[in-house]
Structure 1
Amino acid sequence: MAIPIPGTPVRGSKSGQPIMALFDLLGRSWAMGIIWHLDQGASTFRQLQTYCETISPTTLNKRLKELTDAYLLERTPNGYALTEQGKELFQLIDPLGKWAKTWAQHFK
């Protein structure tokens, strides 16, 4: 499956609104986890595989390719890292992570 492209049909949007294309990409298994982990710095494939625990090598390869093709990740001498756009995206979703922790307290 190719990366969701704004302006083309994506999950949840026949017109491919940019926000829906982004949600389609980020909703794929382990996409958010990879971005979340890479905010701490570059990681090799093996380090990401350890972090993602249950991810298969095939799925990890696919996710890394999709996130790289979407200009959110890049290969560096130290492994995979967030691009400037990836870092900007993380800064936008980080507050959601903090909010989710507060929200989760309602279920305890």
Structure 2
Amino acid sequence: MNVVKPGQRVRGSSTGRPIMVLLDLLGRRWSLRILWELHQSPANFRELQSRCEGLSPSVLNTRLNELREARLLENGDQGYQLSRLGMELIEQFLPLTQWAESWAANLEPPEEN
């Protein structure tokens, strides 16, 4: 399976702008979870599948191939790991993670007196 590259049509974008291609890739089932798990530490196939409870081997294999082709992860001495680009992507998500925590706290109902 070939990952779609910038300039090619993706869901929601006929122009294939890089941000739309990235969002399409990250919006695929399990993609973000795989990246997040590998951000914690490298893992071999079985360990990664165990960390992503409920992920079938075929979907994991497909996502790993897509993410490798997109150069977001690579094979290392300890199994799959984030590439330099993958680490940069996760660093971009950290402020969004902080924002999401604040957002979630604001959604909680106010305490009653």
Q: Distance in 2 between matches of 1:99 and 1:29?
A: 23
How many residues matched?
108
Q: Which amino acid aligns with 1:86?
A: G
Counterpart residue number, 1:74: 74
Cα distance in 2 for residues equivalent to 1:83 and 1:18:
19
What is the TM-score with the length of structure 1 in the denominator?
A: 0.93
Provide the C-alpha distance between the structure 1 equivalents of 2:92 and 2:38, rounded to a whole number of angstroms. Answer: 15
What is the CA RMSD across the aligned residues, in angstroms? Answer: 1.2
Residue matched to 2:20 = 20
The answer for the alignment partner of 1:65 in structure 2 is 65
Query: Any unmatched runs of 5+ in structure 1?
Result: none
Unaligned stretches of 5+ residues in structure 2: 109-113
Displacement over 6 Å in runs of 4+: none
1:55 aligns to what? 55
Q: In structure 2, what is the Cα distance between the partners aligned to 1:107 and 1:46?
A: 37
- Quote the sequence identity (%): 48
1:49-89 Cα distance to aligned partner (Å, 9 max, x none): 11110111110000000000000000112100001011001
